[in-house]
Amino acid sequence: MRLLLLLTLLLTGCSKGPQSDLPYISQARSLAAEWALINGLAANGRLTHVYIATMHKQLREQLQTAASSLTQPDSRYGEEIHALLSQPDDAPPGELRVHADQLKQIEDALESA
């Protein structure tokens, strides 16, 4: 029984495709939402320039890591993540939320599959 469980876990860990990309999709969605929040607060003058620059740098690095970790980078979710990366640091929060919403729809569809 333990051998069967171990084999199942091993095969699950080796799977490729959208299901294995789900953590990266979720991470990118969360980062897009955080980026939108930061830009909204920045537009209202509620954050320092140093904090904003630091957060933009970290968000981009994390998004790049998520994008490079995808098993299917040419997928719809890969395109959304790359579209996020092409946004300027001071992108309007609404545009960032559109990408976050698209990733959420993809994430929900994969989780229900």
pLDDT of residue 9: 47
Stated pTM of the model: 0.85
Q: Phi and psi (nearest 5°) for 88? A: -70, 160
Residue 91: pLDDT over 60:
yes
Residue 20 to residues 16, 54, 96, Cα–Cα distance (Å): 6, 30, 24
Q: Which amino acid is at 4?
A: L
Compare 16 and 13 and report the one with higher pLDDT.
Answer: 16
The whole-angstrom separation of Cα 103 and Cα 29 is 6
